[in-house]
């Protein structure tokens, strides 16, 4: 049989595990909820990152091949297109995970009776 100290320890560990699981569940819910500023920052960073990567690759390839600024311009445009595509995908993902509104709430109530 176990000693009383180990029984108390097991009970304390059980309470801590339950508290930790509850905290993790709350944190998971909060991660799924983004504020408007958080969404805007994510979309802006998706776009800016793609453009910066395109310009950096273009400058590096121009330095290697000595074709300044042709590859930078081409990869800048490709980075711009990739940034737009990333923003569209991220916005679609955010819209898909957002709760759907009740259709009855979207239609205005008609108080006039046309009978």
Please state the domain count of the chain: 2
C-beta of residue 82 within 8 angstroms of C-beta of residue 58: no
pTM: 0.62
Residue reference for tokens 């990333």? 86
- Tally of CB atoms within 10 A around 80: 15
Kindly state whether residue 41 falls inside one of the protein's structural domains: yes
**pLDDT band for position 28 (50/70/90)?**
low
Burial class (CB within 10 angstroms; exposed 0-12, middle 13-18, buried 19+) of 79: buried
Q: Mark whether 18 and 47 lie in a shared domain.
A: no
Domain containing 59 equals 34-97
Digit-coded pLDDT (tens) for 58-93: 999 999 999 999 999 999 999 999 999 999 999 998
């Amino acid at each position: 049989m176990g000693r009383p100290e180990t029984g108390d320890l097991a009970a304390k560990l059980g309470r801590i595990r339950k508290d930790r699981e509850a905290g993790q569940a709350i944190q998971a819910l909060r991660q799924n909820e983004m504020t408007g500023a958080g969404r805007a920052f994510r979309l802006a960073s998706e776009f800016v990152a793609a453009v910066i990567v395109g310009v950096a690759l273009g400058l590096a390839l121009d330095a290697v091949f000595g074709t300044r600024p042709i590859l930078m311009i081409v990869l800048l445009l490709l980075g711009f297109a990739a940034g737009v595509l990333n923003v569209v995908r991220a916005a679609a993902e955010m819209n898909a995970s957002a709760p759907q509104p009740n259709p009855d709430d979207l239609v205005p109530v008609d108080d006039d009776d046309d009978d």
